[in-house]
């Protein structure tokens, strides 16, 4: 199958079976497409849609996003994970306002100067908004191309990625680029899936090397596996006599960067040592701890075992409200940007073991 026939088959399939009514297809502009592309990184369309709609209602344009308090942005991102995306989204919005006069640049090279926008995301913005030829290579497209051309190896390896970019560039047509980019993403998401691809429904079946070999499960190659480290921590829900709880803002970089979370204590402390630990490390005289069922939360590179405990604060001798620590009632806390397991813990503690 030639490069031209590849694109024609994608477009024919897209016309009949593709997704034509996604929220970012309406009032399509660079800002709306950009936000959707960032949200769709590491996240499925069905999950993204309600977040996208709420985000657009609160931040309808780049100016409103650039000017918003960071806590507001993180609150609207809470639950999507990979929170650096949200922080970079706002930084890029501010760059658009300051460096480009509030107008998104219209070249791929300039778009790639914005933090959080790489080659594929920039190309998607160009293709989707301007209908100009630009090759994309997101996770779904990598899978389609790796199978079609039987490209061995994990796409995270530079040599493999280079081959996939060459194929992406070769197959991208000059006409109907907007539909083609959406079509190949849809094909990867709905037909050429990670497991059990629906090859009999695929418009590329006749030319697919992996299908011809009966080896679709081998492409793309898997990331070399490493055993994830296991870490453990106490998370304490400290309540004062007004029913408020203490939240701490996490450092801007790293896990849950910039979000509000619960104070943590070293897992080496025993349950009978929590009162003393709170006094020594956090500056509180507390009552007896009430233990809550522990749970495990998995990050990209380690597992974190969280053991929550609730303690009533009798006296406070060091911590006050400031930019990094706040005493808040639960409904106030839930309005902030919180990691998903912390939000669940504060809302419905008996459900945290399901995370």
3-state secondary structure of 44: coil
Residue 314 lies in a domain: yes
**Token match 């896990």: residue?**
255
List the one residue out of 23, 41, 21, 44 whose CA is nearest residue 32.
Answer: 23
Cβ atoms 277, 264 nearer than 8 A? no
Residue 277 lies in a domain: yes
| Residues 201 and 252 both lie in one domain | no
| Residues 190 and 76 both lie in one domain | yes
| Residues 245 and 209 both lie in one domain | no
Last residue of a domain, one of 195, 218, 241: 218
pLDDT value of residue 321: 60
| Residues 168 and 287 both lie in one domain | no
Residue 180 lies in a domain: yes
| Residues 28 and 155 both lie in one domain | yes
Work out whether the CA dihedral 122, 124, 129, 132 comes out positive or negative. positive
The pTM of the full predicted model, rounded to 2 decimals, is 0.79
* Neighbour count for residue 115 (Cβ, 10 Å): 13
| Residues 245 and 159 both lie in one domain | no
Instruction: Report the DSSP beta bridge partners of residue 308.
Output: 235
Task: Give the C-alpha distances (Å, rounded to integers) separating 327 from 247, 284, 313, 316.
Answer: 6, 13, 12, 12
Instruction: Report the DSSP beta bridge partners of residue 238.
Output: 311
SS3 labels along 47-99: HHHHHHHHHHHHCCCHHHHHHCCHHHHHHHHCCCCCCHHHHHHHHHHHHHHHH
| Residues 110 and 236 both lie in one domain | no
| Residues 271 and 185 both lie in one domain | no
pLDDT value of residue 353: 45
User: What is the four-CA torsion angle of 33, 39, 40, 42, rounded to 10 degrees?
Assistant: 150
Report CA 325 to chain centroid distance, whole Å: 26
Residue 103 lies in a domain: yes
Annotation marks residue 290 as catalytic: no
| Residues 193 and 248 both lie in one domain | no
Alpha carbon distance 242, 341 (integer Å): 24
Residue 271 lies in a domain: yes
Taking the chain (355 residues) in consecutive chunks of 10 residues, what is each chunk's mean pLDDT? 81 96 94 97 93 97 96 91 92 97 95 96 97 96 98 95 98 96 97 96 97 96 88 93 92 87 93 91 90 88 92 74 84 90 81 44
pLDDT value of residue 94: 98
Residue 211 lies in a domain: yes
Give residue 291's domain range.
230-354
CATH number of the domain encompassing residue 178 = 1.10.340.30
Cβ atoms 263, 249 nearer than 8 A? no
Residue 172 lies in a domain: yes
Report which secondary-structure segment, H or E, holds 157: none
Cis upstream peptide for 220 (omega within 30°): yes
| Residues 167 and 306 both lie in one domain | no
Q: What's the number of domains the chain is made of? A: 2
Alpha carbon distance 275, 158 (integer Å): 51
Last residue of a domain, one of 174, 198, 218: 218
Last residue of a domain, one of 160, 184, 218: 218
Cβ atoms 186, 18 nearer than 8 A? yes
| Residues 79 and 174 both lie in one domain | yes
Residue in 8, 37, 276, 332 annotated catalytic? 37
3-state secondary structure of 47: helix
CATH number of the domain encompassing residue 302 = 3.90.79.10
| Residues 90 and 141 both lie in one domain | yes
Residue 223 lies in a domain: no
Cβ atoms 193, 184 nearer than 8 A? no
């Amino acid at each position: 199958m030639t490069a031209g026939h590849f694109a024609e088959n994608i477009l024919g399939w897209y016309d009949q079976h593709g997704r034509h009514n996604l929220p970012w297809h309406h009032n399509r502009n660079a800002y709306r497409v950009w936000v959707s592309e960032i949200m769709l990184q590491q996240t499925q369309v069905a999950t993204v849609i309600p977040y996208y709609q709420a985000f657009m209602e609160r931040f309808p344009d780049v100016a409103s996003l650039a000017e918003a308090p960071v806590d507001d942005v993180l609150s609207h991102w809470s639950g999507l994970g990979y929170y650096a995306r949200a922080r970079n989204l706002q930084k890029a919005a501010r760059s658009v306002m300051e460096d480009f006069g509030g107008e998104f640049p219209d070249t791929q090279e300039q778009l790639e100067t914005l933090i959080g926008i790489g080659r594929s995301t920039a190309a998607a913005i160009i293709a989707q908004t301007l209908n100009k030829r630009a090759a994309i290579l997101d996770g779904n497209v990598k899978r389609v191309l790796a199978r079609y051309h039987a490209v061995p190896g994990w796409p995270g390896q530079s040599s493999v990625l280079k081959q996939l970019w060459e194929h992406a560039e070769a197959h991208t047509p000059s006409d109907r680029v907007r539909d083609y980019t959406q079509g190949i993403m849809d094909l990867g998401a709905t037909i050429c899936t990670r497991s059990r691809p629906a090859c009999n429904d695929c418009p590329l079946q006749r030319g697919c090397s992996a299908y011809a070999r009966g080896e679709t499960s081998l492409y793309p190659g898997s990331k070399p596996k490493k055993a994830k480290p296991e870490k453990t921590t106490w998370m304490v829900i400290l309540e004062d006599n007004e029913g408020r709880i203490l939240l701490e803002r996490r450092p801007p970089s790293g896990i849950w960067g910039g979000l509000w979370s619960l104070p943590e204590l070293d897992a080496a402390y025993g349950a009978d040592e929590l009162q003393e630990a709170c006094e020594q490390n956090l500056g509180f005289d507390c009552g007896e701890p009430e233990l809550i069922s522990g749970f495990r939360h998995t990050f990209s590179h380690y597992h974190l075992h969280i053991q929550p405990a609730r303690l009533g604060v009798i006296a406070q001798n060091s911590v006050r409200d400031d930019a990094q620590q706040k005493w808040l009632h639960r409904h106030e806390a839930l309005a902030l940007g919180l990691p998903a397991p912390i939000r669940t813990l504060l809302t419905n503690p008996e459900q945290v073991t399901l995370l």
